[in-house]
């Protein structure tokens, strides 16, 4: 409760940030909800059409392909980067020769912009002049390298592989921070009690890293659902929508096909999918805070 002018000062510092947040986040969000109920093409006046965009969306084959691709991306993201990131963190948490170099090397991909990563790997995946296929042919493993970005069975996994290459270093850093926060006396006590490395990992380290694991999983889920940059740069969702994801599908419908209302309905669906996982995370965090 505000009792004096001095009590008002902290709230005054919040005025500008709140206004900016309302104008740039809350306002566009609600406007997107409204646009999803119109047939706006980005040029003419929006016409209210109710839920027709959503009816069309749930009858659109590309929507289900994009949804399935996002789920494949999600499953890959919550397994491979988590396992390898944790493994690297365990190895690099002890003093070894070249420790700082290895940490920097594994984290370096995260420094590169998504567009740059997509361009680099696009060249590497080139069917005739790419580094990967040239290496495979040079080693004699194949006579002709596959079309990594033109084969419908390979294209999505090729792009996911690039995303995983970037994500592993990020997960490694998060787990390293978690390992540094663990009291080493707990591990020494376990060693004195006769626990081997495997039991120490499963019974002590992994439970203590649960908060970090939750953060890693939630970030991985959100990143997989909003995947766009790599797909847009490397394939634009092709061939034949084989690598299409929801964010790329939304962009193409809205800005290439001038179906802003339809694109907004895709954005709303993506928003609610992300909201489910964010809600689960916030609920867990609040429970931990209350227990603390």
**pLDDT tens digit sequence for 257-287:** 999 999 999 999 999 888 887 777 667 766 7
| End-to-end C-alpha distance for the chain, whole angstroms | 27
The proportion of the chain whose per-residue pLDDT surpasses 90, expressed as a percent, equals: 54
- CATH number for the domain spanning 130: value is 1.10.3720.10
Q: What was the pLDDT predicted at 83?
A: 93
Q: Which of 217, 265, 268, 286 is nearest to 55 (CA)?
A: 265
d(CA 95, CA 99): 7
Structural domain range at position 277 = 65-291
- Number of domains the chain contains: 1
State pTM to two decimals.
Answer: 0.88
Q: What region does 255 belong to: left with phi over 0, alpha with psi -120 to 50, or beta? A: alpha
Note whether residue 6 is domain-resident: no
What does the alpha-carbon distance between residue 257 and residue 2 come to, in Å, rounded to a whole number?
53
The pLDDT assigned to 288 comes to 63
Question: What percent of the chain is predicted at pLDDT more than 70?
Answer: 95
Beta bridge partners, 38, equal 48
209 occurs within a structural domain: yes
Determine if the peptide bond prior to 239 is cis (ω within 30°): yes
- Is residue 108 included in any domain, yes or no? yes
Given pLDDT bands bounded at 50, 70 and 90, which one contains residue 51? Answer: very high
1 is a domain residue: no
* 57: in domain: no
pLDDT for the residue numbered 117: 93
CA-to-CA distance for 83 and 43, rounded, in angstroms?
48
Please tell me the predicted confidence (pLDDT) of residue 195.
73
CA angle at residue 269 from 266 to 271, to 5 degrees?
110
Judge whether 144 lies within some domain: yes
pLDDT at 86: 93
Helix axes 80-92, 61-77, angle to 10 degrees: 20
Compute the CA torsion angle 200, 85, 106, 92 (nearest 10 deg).
0
């Amino acid at each position: 409760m505000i009792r004096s002018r001095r009590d008002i000062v902290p709230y005054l510092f919040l005025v500008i940030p709140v206004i900016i947040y309302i104008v740039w986040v809350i306002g566009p969000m609600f406007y997107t909800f409204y646009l999803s109920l119109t047939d706006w093409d980005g040029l003419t006046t929006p016409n209210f059409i109710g839920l027709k965009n959503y009816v069309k969306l749930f009858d659109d084959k590309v929507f289900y392909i994009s949804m399935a691709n996002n789920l494949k991306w999600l499953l890959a993201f919550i397994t491979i980067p988590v396992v390898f990131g944790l493994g690297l963190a365990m190895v690099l948490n002890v003093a070894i020769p070249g420790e700082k170099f290895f940490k920097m090397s594994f984290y370096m991909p995260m420094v590169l912009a998504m567009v740059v990563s997509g361009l680099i790997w696009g060249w590497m995946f080139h069917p005739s002049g790419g580094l990967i296929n040239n290496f495979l042919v040079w080693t004699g493993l194949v006579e002709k390298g596959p079309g990594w970005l033109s084969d419908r069975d390979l294209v999505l996994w090729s792009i996911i592989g690039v995303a995983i290459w970037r994500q592993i270093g990020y997960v490694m850093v998060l787990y390293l921070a978690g390992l540094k926060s663990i009291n080493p006396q707990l591990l020494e006590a376990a060693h004195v009690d006769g626990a081997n490395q495997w039991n120490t990992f499963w019974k002590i380290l992994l439970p203590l890293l649960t908060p970090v694991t939750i953060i890693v999983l939630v970030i991985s889920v959100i990143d997989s659902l909003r995947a766009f940059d790599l797909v847009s740069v490397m394939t634009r969702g092709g061939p034949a929508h084989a690598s299409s994801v929801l964010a790329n599908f939304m962009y193409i419908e809205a800005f290439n096909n001038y179906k802003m209302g339809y694109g907004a309905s895709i954005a709303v669906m993506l928003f609610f999918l992300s909201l489910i996982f964010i809600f689960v995370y916030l609920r867990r965090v609040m429970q931990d805070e209350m227990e603390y």
